[in-house]
Amino acid sequence: MKKEYDFNKLKRVKKGPVVSKDKTKISKTIRLDFAVVEWLITESDRRGVKYQSLINALLKEAMEAGGAILNETRVRQIVRDELKRRAS
């Protein structure tokens, strides 16, 4: 690095994205089980959407359902709904 660079004039910026609700998507790293990602990719291919869009849609659906915790009853309902969709 050259000695003549002067870093004293640099300004510190806040870390993190500046976003407005419902207009911008942000990038966030999450850790998922391999089997979950495998299912998401298979399901997204079947539906003809990108797997990240599928994740977003599934999470949004859960959020709009009142943030209900994913319990055994909810999982059974999701499976029933998926089986009905496949039968159609």
Q: How many domains does the chain have?
A: 1
Residue 83 resides in a domain: yes
Prediction pTM value: 0.50
**40 Cβ contact list (under 8 Å, min separation 6):** 32, 51, 54, 55
**pLDDT for 21:** 63
Which residues constitute the domain of residue 41? 34-87
Q: What is the pLDDT of residues 35-61, one digit of tens each?
A: 889 999 999 999 999 999 999 888 888
Rounded-to-integer distance, Cα 32 and Cα 25, Å = 20
Residues making up the chain, counted from first to last: 88
The reported pLDDT for the residue numbered 83 is 84
Q: Report the distance separating Cα 77 and Cα 64, nearest Å.
A: 16
Whether 16 maps to a domain, the answer reads no
